[in-house]
Amino acid sequence: GYTMPIVCYYDKDEDLYIIVDGFHRYRIMLENQDIYDREQGMLPVSVINKSLDQRMASTIRHNRARGNHDVDLMSNIVKELHELGRSDAWISRHLGMDKDEILRLKQITGLAALFKDVNFGQAWQPVEEEDEEEPAFPAPWGA
């Protein structure tokens, strides 16, 4: 049997249940007749009613709890959350990431847009020293 339910979100507009977590468990049942028969074509399901950003955070938390860590998936989710208007502080709080991890995941996506709202410090300018006279070196041949 299954030890964890499939987590779904019900999309009222489409009249469809969308899997948030458990896609592989669902697919295994569909692709293996013996499992399908054993489970009578049914799976335990928990339905959540959360916004897209909250569902994305749930997916990350489920993956982390199982020890799955897909860097590409994580960086794309951070990118999408940023595009949905979520701050680094929100991402940190809801996904359990520190700011350095968020920065690294943003860098992986390679999108400058992820940094558009970041305040960067002023670059330092080297201090121009007064020109000093070049020391006079005697010619090696003793001119």
pLDDT (tens digit per residue) in 71-98: 777 788 888 888 888 888 888 888 778 8
Range of weakest confidence among 20-29, 59-68, 90-99, 125-134: 125-134
pLDDT at res. 37: 94
Per-residue pLDDT band for 4 (boundaries 50, 70, 90) equals confident
* Selected residue with higher pLDDT from 141 and 31: 31
Whole-number Å distance between alpha carbons of 70 and 7: 19
Does residue 47 register a pLDDT over 90? Answer: yes
CB atoms within 10 A of CB 78: 26
Per-residue pLDDT band for 24 (boundaries 50, 70, 90) equals confident
Share of the chain above pLDDT 90, in %: 19
Using CB atoms within 10 A of its CB, is residue 12 exposed (0-12), middle (13-18) or buried (19+)?
Answer: exposed
